[in-house]
Amino acid sequence: MSGIERDDVIRIAARGDGVTASGRHVPRSAPGDWVDGDGVLYHGPHHQAPPCQHYGRCGGCQLQHVDDAAQSNYLVSRVETALAAQGLAARDIRTPHLSPPASRRRAALKAQRLGGALILGYNEASSHRLVDLKSCPVLCPEIARLLAPLRALLRILMKPRSTMASLQLTLVDQGVDIVITGVEALGLEAHDAIIDFCQQGIARLAFDYGDGPEDRWVPEPATITMSGVPVAFPYGGFLQATADGEAQLIAAVREALGGPALVADLFCGIGTFALALSQHAKVHAYEAARASIIAMQQASNRALRAIVAEHRDLYRRPLTTAELLPFDAVVLDPPRAGAEAQVRELAASAVPVIAYVSCNPASFARDAAILVAGGYTLDWVKPIGQFRWSTHMELAARFFHHR
């Protein structure tokens, strides 16, 4: 041996590498592992055997080698580190929720025809090459069982040496909704292959040739039920990655807000929170994606829910402090970039309580600093590990203000 005789792995960095006490980054190591002076890694109590045969090549997961305790600690650390970078700390970071294996209800796959072979899967880590996916332990069974049939269908539809195709799969009420981009499904052979394939629990199949999805199989309208209300599912509509993760986020938002009479739901999507909150409150919902806000408004009207929906780009035109004045509470669930312009209006507002849902600890912490500077207190944060064995995460947080 040479150099350091023992260098213990003490934490997991943001991208999934283990970090030793000396600051060394060690791929696929877990807290409790250690490295000797020759760079040999020895496993500790939090290291587990990865459950997927593709782990190490596939870019979809980074943490299959760590146990649940280590992943939970990692999620808490992500939040603490992001807040500390802004000079903040939450009064309470709660025990994370981890979605179980085989629960992911949406997937984005790619396919490529190379001679007689059809490769279907995810990109390799840090590469444009594809991993030919034989199985995936994070996918729900309804999607996972379609891997082989999809490969057979695409072998017929895609020409040899054809360009890369993209597939978006989402589990909806009627089965699996699929949009395929980059494939020309023309001719009798393609028609027959599509009909045969769609007998296997396919809710809707569409092909996008560059001008938007065109339906090829829609036996009945595709819907996703949100808080007991079926909502027409738009192509490309946003849906939380797992049903249990969605339930955890809804519960956290409800707890954060208490019992408000009038709520603003900002970046409402297809109504994940608006429809849940409208069971006991009046909700004004705002969303820039026209198809999503129309689907939510139509669904809430049919269910006689007290929701007023507005198509509005909150990046270009955030709700002003004057517009926020009537609300007892605000929910916001922005994209990864956060909601800086909207948060600045909120920071100057009189809204008593805010529930902030985020998929990016860094942009969340930046926005949290703006709210705290405006007089809000960051009460608690609930990390949600919907993306099992991945460095991606969600969180819900409560801010309150006594004016």
Cβ atoms within 10 A of the Cβ of 285, count?
29
CA distance 4 to 22: 9
Active site residue 140: no
Kindly write down the DSSP assignment for every residue of 154-210, as one continuous string: HHHHSPTTPPPEEEEEEEETTEEEEEEES----SHHHHHHHHHHTTTTEEEEEEESS
Sign of the CA dihedral running 346, 348, 349, 353: positive
Q: Is 11 helix (H, G, I), strand (E, B) or coil?
A: strand
- Could you tell me if 385 and 75 are in contact, meaning their C-beta atoms sit under 8 angstroms apart? yes
Stated length of the chain: 403
Select from 148, 71, 82 the least CA-distant residue to 109.
148
Pick the catalytic residue: 52, 58, 268, 359? 359
Kindly write down the DSSP assignment for every residue of 103-126, as one continuous string: -B-EEEEEEEEETTEEEEEPBBTT
CA distance 139 to 242: 10
Q: Which residues are catalytic?
A: 359
